[in-house]
A and B are shown apart, each in its own frame.
Chain A
Amino acid sequence: MFGAGGGTNSYREIEETDVIVLWGSNARETHPIFFHHLLRGVRNGARLYTIDPRRTSSAEWADVWLGLDVGSDIALANAVGREIIAAGLHNTQFIERATVDFEAYRAKVEPYTLEYAARETGVPADAIRDLAHDFAKADRAMICWTLGITEHHNAVDNVVALINLVLLTGHVGRYGSGVNPLRGQNNVQGGGDMGALPDRLPGFQHVENDELRPKFEAAWGVTVPPKRGWHLSGMFDAMERGELQALYVIGENPVQSEADQKRARHLLETRDFMVVQDIFLTKTAELADVVLPAAASWAESEGTVTNSERRVQRVRKALDPPGEARDDLWIVQELARRMGQDWGWTSAEDCWDELRSLSPVHAGMTYRRLEELGGIQWPCYDEDHPGELFLHSRLWEDPVPGNRVPFVPVDHDPPVDRLDDDYPIRLTTGRRLDSYNTGVQTAGYTTPMRRGESLDISPEDAESMRLFEGELVRVVSRRGQVEVPIRVDASLRPGLTFMTLHFQDDVATNLLTIDATDPKSGTAEFKATAIRIERLPAAVPAR
């Protein structure tokens, strides 16, 4: 909606804001560094709303927890928008000056009454009204989200529904107000910024823009294909059609990280040719035709990474990679050389300087300046530019330079994997503080905080189904089944269960999940699986 894919604010701004809405994010466990900044905001008096089907450890710090049903976020967001308009709390000056299509939005949210939303989301109408009024009346307010918003079949609509709320209230483009997706890995932000996307060249320059491609073609001496490629989920669909046969996998473990694991594994193992470049022999590497041993990006590599506040920071090499393992930049460059292209980089800085020459938002970020300034937040257009603390301040200029921002009206659309008599229970998945994704980087060491995989269920469901703590059960979805012990968890509401993806070797949670993906972002609906729980005959109560 705004053009570039990045959070609008800096970490320090959440310390000085008035209302924080943490939506579909358990940042206490999944973004602990950011959560420290958030807690400072709470101590400074900010009111914290958490919106999550689970009463998470983040919710323990909140003034209000809104426990909505999985996948009902748009119903809730639209009701908040409708209530703000109905109460006359929308920022008409901002809307007129900086946005378009408000009337279409107003018409779209009109049916989303508090009563309708209460029925559809499970959140009491009073709580929805309080959120709407507190958010709209605040001087400064921020909405932060993570995978609870994006791991759905309608991920982009979910994000848009939240952005509509800041357009409605003018909570964007000013210090302490904005929208911030929290990034789950150290360089998710940078991967996109660098053009590791099927439709964007480095610096968010669209690959289908005929005026932008020639710059890259001149620099590289090649023709850049003018049509966007497939994103990750689209690539799996292309594999199924036989249109994608050769894979180069760098530092990823899709065999275990993809939804509907049986399908993902089958497609990867039947390719003509697959190269995996990694630091461990992952389950994906085990299927490769060639495995290239790489350097760890942390401690064994020179370069930069970019965090959720768009800050580019240097990482430095302290150790040589073990044995014959080699620096990733060397490997990629050597492959290019053997295939006829000499890129001429002798250091990571050479590579970075080439990027700076092609991406205007990074142009002013020399390694020297990154060092001197402790990192720089994009955009940074030249070597006198200090970078930007927050984005979109132009929306507060009168008249607004450039395009006005459109409201994008969206409708509630429940999860694809419907509940029925055969699969009556909702399973949602997520992360825990002590582990990381499929466990490749964390399962190799012990921590006193870690326990194994479990199916977490509410005390009410445990009682009505006569399941007991530690009982091994079979969990069945429409795609697969796993055996896993029960754990009773009072933070869950009846009908809702939870598992992680951390212990895929023991319990392959992604055998259960559905690969229904968002048509625009390609994100799978990891957050909403329909399951049933089957008792195993040998189970006996624990003493």
Chain B
Amino acid sequence: MTRRAGRRYTRGVVDSQEAPVPKDYVRLTQPLVRDSKDAPLRPASWDEALTRVVAGFQAAKAQHGPTTFGVFSCSKATNEVNFAAQKFSRSVLGSNNIDSCNRT
């Protein structure tokens, strides 16, 4: 019987009762940025990461106006984080394009 190679199924027959190999998700412990669209993500300080976010949001607003923003909020996060996210969207970005994953 052919077994799964790594995390991918191989052609042939597999044991459909077999447990999948656990994934190696590791916690994010530092901000990441990329220096161009093609560059890989690299670690950065909070100050650098937040500066880039602000610059990115401001550039988008200047170029396209506030309706160019979309905020995806989180159905696992607290009420407080959801309140903050919609306040940020409406009062800082100026956009009502906010939703959470309550539709999937």
**Footprint of B on A, CB under 8 Å?**
151, 183-188, 190-199, 201-202, 207, 216, 220, 222-225, 227-233, 235, 238-239, 243-252, 254, 257-259, 272-273, 275, 278-281, 285-286, 288-294, 297-298, 301-306, 312, 315, 322-326, 328-329, 332-336, 338-341, 343, 348, 351-352, 354-355, 439-441, 443-448, 450-454, 469-472, 483-487, 503, 505-507, 521-524, 526, 536, 538-543
Neighbouring B residues of A259 by C-beta, 8 Å: 104
Neighbouring A residues of B28 by C-beta, 8 Å: 278-281, 285, 291, 293-294, 325
Minimum CB distance partner of A543 in chain B: B1
Do B9 and A506 touch across chains, with their CB atoms under 8 A apart?
yes
List 22 A–B pairs whose Cβ atoms lie within 8 Å, in order of A's numbering. Answer: A183-B102, A188-B75, A191-B82, A198-B98, A229-B67, A233-B103, A235-B99, A243-B64, A243-B68, A246-B68, A250-B85, A251-B77, A252-B74, A252-B101, A279-B28, A281-B26, A291-B31, A450-B19, A452-B4, A470-B1, A470-B13, A536-B11
**Please, how many angstroms separate the alpha-carbon atoms of A465 and B83 in the complex?**
52
Do A451 and B70 touch across chains, with their CB atoms under 8 A apart?
no
Minimum CB distance partner of B64 in chain A: A245
Partner of A352, one of B13, B41, B57, B79: B79
Minimum CB distance partner of B71 in chain A: A248
Do B16 and A454 touch across chains, with their CB atoms under 8 A apart?
yes
Do B41 and A193 touch across chains, with their CB atoms under 8 A apart?
no
**Please, how many angstroms separate the alpha-carbon atoms of A393 and B86 in the complex?**
31
Do B9 and A507 touch across chains, with their CB atoms under 8 A apart?
yes
Partner of B72, one of A252, A450, A541: A252
Do B72 and A324 touch across chains, with their CB atoms under 8 A apart?
no
Minimum CB distance partner of B94 in chain A: A225
Q: Which 4 A-B pairs have the closest CB atoms?
A: A323-B29, A303-B78, A229-B96, A251-B74
Minimum CB distance partner of B55 in chain A: A273
A342 → chain B closest CB, angstroms: 11
Neighbouring B residues of A439 by C-beta, 8 Å: 23
Do B67 and A305 touch across chains, with their CB atoms under 8 A apart?
no
B1-56 interface (Cβ within 8 A of A): 1, 4, 7-20, 22-34, 37, 41, 46, 49-54, 56
B41 → chain A closest CB, angstroms: 6
| Binding site secondary structure of chain A | loop
Neighbouring A residues of B73 by C-beta, 8 Å: 191, 196, 250-252
Do A198 and B97 touch across chains, with their CB atoms under 8 A apart?
yes
Neighbouring B residues of A229 by C-beta, 8 Å: 67, 95-98
Do A246 and B99 touch across chains, with their CB atoms under 8 A apart?
no
Partner of B78, one of A190, A207, A336, A506: A190
Minimum CB distance partner of B86 in chain A: A195
**Please, how many angstroms separate the alpha-carbon atoms of A254 and B34 in the complex?**
20
Neighbouring A residues of B34 by C-beta, 8 Å: 289-290
**Please, how many angstroms separate the alpha-carbon atoms of A523 and B104 in the complex?**
6
**Please, how many angstroms separate the alpha-carbon atoms of A305 and B80 in the complex?**
8
Do B97 and A486 touch across chains, with their CB atoms under 8 A apart?
no
Partner of B97, one of A195, A235, A302: A235
Minimum CB distance partner of B61 in chain A: A246
Instruction: Please judge, given known A-B contacts A273-B57, A348-B80, whether A197 and B103 are in contact too, CB under 8 Å.
Output: no
Do B56 and A224 touch across chains, with their CB atoms under 8 A apart?
no
Neighbouring A residues of B61 by C-beta, 8 Å: 246
**Please, how many angstroms separate the alpha-carbon atoms of A295 and B71 in the complex?**
18
Neighbouring A residues of B12 by C-beta, 8 Å: 472, 536, 538-540
A502 → chain B closest CB, angstroms: 9
For the complex with contacts A281-B25, A506-B9, 11 further pairs of A-B residues with Cβ separation under 8 Å are A185-B102, A197-B100, A244-B68, A294-B28, A297-B74, A301-B81, A335-B88, A443-B25, A444-B22, A452-B19, A523-B104
Do A187 and B101 touch across chains, with their CB atoms under 8 A apart?
no
Neighbouring A residues of B83 by C-beta, 8 Å: 194-196, 202, 351-352, 354-355
Minimum CB distance partner of B45 in chain A: A324
A70 → chain B closest CB, angstroms: 18
**Please, how many angstroms separate the alpha-carbon atoms of A503 and B7 in the complex?**
10
**Please, how many angstroms separate the alpha-carbon atoms of A526 and B56 in the complex?**
34
**Please, how many angstroms separate the alpha-carbon atoms of A487 and B86 in the complex?**
44
Minimum CB distance partner of B101 in chain A: A252
Partner of B92, one of A251, A339, A441, A444: A339
Do A443 and B31 touch across chains, with their CB atoms under 8 A apart?
no
Do A275 and B75 touch across chains, with their CB atoms under 8 A apart?
no
Neighbouring B residues of A233 by C-beta, 8 Å: 103
B12 → chain A closest CB, angstroms: 5
B62 → chain A closest CB, angstroms: 11
